[in-house]
Each structure stands twice: as structure tokens, then as C-alpha cells.
Amino acid sequence: MEILAEHGLLLLIIATTLGFLMAWGIGANDVANAMSTSVGTKSLTVIQALIIAAIFEFLGAYLAGGEVTNTIKQGIVDPSAFTGQEINVTLGMISAMFAAGTWLILASFLGWPVSTTHSIIGAVIGFSLLSVGPDAIHWTSLWSIFGSWIITPVISGIIAYILFVSVLRSIFRHFHPMKHAKRKVPIYIALTVFVITYITIGSGLKHIGAGNITPLQNLAYSGIIAAVSAAVGAIVINRMNFDKEKDKAKDESAKEKDKVKGKSRNNYKQVEKIFSILMIITACAMAFAHGSNDVANSIGPLSAVVAAVKHAQDSSYDTGVLEWWILPLGALGIVIGLSTLGYKVMKTVGVKITHLTPSRGFAAQLATATTVVIASGTGLPISTTQTLVGAIIGIGLAHGIAAINMRVISSIFISWIITLPSGAILSIIFFKVLQAFFC
């Protein structure tokens, strides 16, 4: 406690700097990954993606992020092992921010879409091994995380495959795809809004004291909101002004109909424009899903350090209070990271894995949002990155294995495997440096 009180200001400066570094890394990698399909299909510009990310990442973290935060704080390392070791916790959290931030920025520079969650988990394990030993680590929790590396991409891939095949069969493989799109797309809008609303009410709003809402009430509220969204979507779609002469040329998406002889291909580009609008909704859902599962990682360690230092200086300080400047700092770091290095990860995920159109991107985003937000409600710290990559692979498989760039997939898988140990090693190194300096 004496060290925290004596060097409190210096520790806060270091922690704030590294907290910003970590937020920058999250923006450059995970948030860029979450926005990659929207930008890659040209449904959103980078500026529009920045605005959507800033708003919905915050809402996701605030409304539905509590379960995952608790898993990271209590599910990986036994908190009781750090009793009376406030200085080790503080130096450890600083080390974790350094490790995760450094690895995320390095991976972003190389264009690797890696996991923020697994980076910070590896970093926490690293300093915990030095400070309290291996017995304090819940190794069984790690097995569930390792399992999620396979399970969640497979689940999201299956959901994406089913969604995209349903789009093909219900819209693209009809003689008049535009007519069917105007009828079917509002249904997909309703599905998207229903999934996000149901999970938000059921697993998110309880963290802000919204009271107990029964599953039946949740179904009713979500159904009403989804129905209204579908009605609004139908009105917007029917009022869209399409230039038929301009769009008569065969679009890339017409390849979906190559196996169906004699069918009209003239309206494919118009249909994809409708899905571009739908992708704006799914981009919001994607940002919300990512925020619910990952954004707390950028502010959690920093808020822990601030609370520890201020409590050491004033024992009456409420350690449960989140300082007003932490969230804006995290938001600023995320936006700067997305706007500076985010394009590299966007290119890898949105362009290099397989060819994406707005209809394909919609299926991938909705599948990912569904998988991630459900996992967030159960408290499993899965990776948004791995979930989205799994969904995009599922989309590619709908066109055959040849549609997937296996060389890119191989490099992505390797980056996933080395993320957790990289975070641990960097955390151990920096923790030893801080201990030598402050202890």
C-alpha cells in the first residue's frame, strides 16, 4: 500500500498511457474486424463505420458486458489469491495492458485478425504465474476457452451457411429477384432486430437495474420492436429509387444464378443495394455484439489500477466507481486505432478470405452477432474475430472449398494459436521490469 500511495501519480500515468495503447490495439484489430464485412462490401465508408463503431461498441459494453467482465476477473484467476497483494495486482494489470496492446498493434500491422479477449487472458495468466503461482489459475476455464476456438467458428459458420442459402433460395434463384427481395428482406430485418433486442433485454438490461423481465415478456417486447423495424424497412425499401437502365449490366453477384438457366439476372445489383441497407443494421448489431464481449477488456484493467491507487491514497474511496474520463479515453483510442491501422485487418477479413457481396456480408454479420451476443450472455469470453472468420468461411463453403483462400486461413489460424502465449510472455517480461523498478 505504501508503494501505491508513494508512486500513485506515476503509476496512473503509466496505466493511462498503456490503457490508451490497448484501446488503440482493440480499435485497429477487433473493431476493424467487426466492421470489415461492411467496409469490404462497400456498404459503409470508413467514416460511417467509425461513427457506428463509436456508438454501438459503447452500448454493447454498457448494456451487456457485465457477464464477460466477471468471467475474466473471477473465472481465470482466483481473486482470493491476491489478498494483501495490491501492488502485484496493480503492476500486473499494467503489464497486462502493455502485453495485450503491444500484441494487438503488432498483429494489426501484419494484418492478422486476432482476439483481444485471448490476448488479455494470456496476459493475466502471465503475471499471475509470477505473482501467485499456477495453483491460483483456473485451468479448467482455459479448456473451455480452447474449446471455443473450434466450437464458435463452427457454430457461426453453420448459421451463416444456413442464412445465406436461405437468401439464395428465397430471393436470388427466382425469376424476379427484386420482387422477392422487397417481400423477404423485411423478414431478415425483423430477425436481426429480434435477436439483438431479445439478448439485450434478457442478458444486458439487468446490469443497469431494469428489473426482472420474464422470458415471455422479453419475447413480446422483442417481437414488437422487430415487427416495427420490419415495417419501417419495408417502407424504406419500397421507396428506394433504382436506376434500371444503369443496373441492367450483369453484376458480380449474378454468379449466384449461373446454375439456373433461363433466369433473369438484370436485377441482381438492385437486390444487393437492398442488402447494403440491411448491412447497416447488421453492422450496428456487429458493433453491439463486439462491445458486449470485448470492449470491457480495454477499460477493465485501467479502471482496476485507478481504483487501487486511489484507494491506497484514500481508504474511503469507492473502488466500484468508474472514473468519468476512462470511457472517453477508451473510445478515443478505439477510434484512432480503427482509423490508422484498421484498414489492414479490414482487407484481410473483408476481402482476402473469400469474395463478399452485401448479401453474403449480411449473412456473415448476423451469424456472428447472434453467436457472440449469446455467448456474452453465458459469460464465455469467446473471440469475435474467430466467430466472424468462421461465418465468412461458412459463406465461402456455400460456393465450394475453392472459393476460400486457404493460404490466408492458415496464417489466421497460426496467429490465433500464438496469441495467448504471446500475451503471457510479454506480460511476464513487463511485470518483471515493473517489479524491479517499484519493488
Digit-coded pLDDT (tens) for 177-204:
888 888 899 999 898 888 777 766 765 5
How high is the pLDDT of residue 63? Answer: 66
Q: Which of 68-82, 288-302, 408-422 is the most confident on average?
A: 408-422
In a domain, 434, yes or no: yes
d(CA 329, CA 350): 28
How high is the pLDDT of residue 297? Answer: 66
**pLDDT tens digit sequence for 113-134:** 998 878 888 998 999 998 888 8
**pLDDT tens digit sequence for 231-273:** 998 998 888 765 554 444 444 444 454 444 444 455 678 888 8
Q: Is the alpha carbon torsion for 196, 197, 198, 199 positive or negative? A: positive
Measured in Å, how far apart are the chain's first and last C-alpha atoms? 12
Q: Which structural domain range is residue 153 located in?
A: 2-159+286-438
Is pLDDT of 433 > 90? yes
Is pLDDT of 176 > 90? no
In a domain, 148, yes or no: yes
Is pLDDT of 80 > 90? no
d(CA 75, CA 421): 18
Contact 158, 425 (CB under 8 A): no
How high is the pLDDT of residue 114? Answer: 92
Q: How many CB atoms lie within 10 A of CB 242?
A: 14
In a domain, 207, yes or no: no
How high is the pLDDT of residue 271? Answer: 87
d(CA 4, CA 287): 36
**pLDDT tens digit sequence for 264-292:** 455 678 888 888 888 888 788 777 766 76
Percent of the chain with pLDDT over 90: 27
How high is the pLDDT of residue 245? Answer: 43
How high is the pLDDT of residue 265? Answer: 52
At residue 91, what are phi and psi to the nearest 5 degrees?
Answer: -65, -35
How high is the pLDDT of residue 108? Answer: 95
Continuous H helices in 27-115: 32-40, 46-64, 66-70, 86-109
In a domain, 63, yes or no: yes
- pTM for the model stands at 0.83
Q: What is the dihedral of CA 66, 70, 73, 76, to 10 degrees?
A: -130
d(CA 377, CA 201): 11
Contact 89, 387 (CB under 8 A): no
How high is the pLDDT of residue 110? Answer: 93
In a domain, 385, yes or no: yes
**pLDDT tens digit sequence for 323-334:** 778 877 887 888
**pLDDT tens digit sequence for 20-68:** 999 899 989 988 887 888 888 888 888 888 888 878 877 776 665 555 4
Q: Is the alpha carbon torsion for 111, 114, 119, 122 positive or negative? A: negative
Q: What is the dihedral of CA 49, 330, 28, 61, to 10 degrees?
A: -60
Task: State mean pLDDT over 139-162.
Answer: 84
Contact 320, 11 (CB under 8 A): no
How high is the pLDDT of residue 28? Answer: 92
pLDDT confidence bin for 309, thresholds 50/70/90: confident
Chain length of the chain: 439
CA separation, residue 12 to residues 20, 315, 329, 398 (Å): 12, 17, 13, 51
Q: Which of 204-218, 291-305, 395-409 is the most confident on average?
A: 395-409
Report the SS3 class of residue 137.
Answer: strand
How high is the pLDDT of residue 263? Answer: 45
How high is the pLDDT of residue 100? Answer: 93
Least confident of 21-25, 146-150, 296-300, 337-341: 296-300
How high is the pLDDT of residue 308? Answer: 81
Q: Please state the domain count of the chain.
A: 1
Between residues 379 and 68, the one the model is more confident about: 379
In a domain, 108, yes or no: yes
How high is the pLDDT of residue 18? Answer: 93
d(CA 343, CA 45): 11
User: Which three cell numbers mark 245?
Assistant: 437502365
In a domain, 238, yes or no: no
How high is the pLDDT of residue 54? Answer: 78
How high is the pLDDT of residue 223? Answer: 93
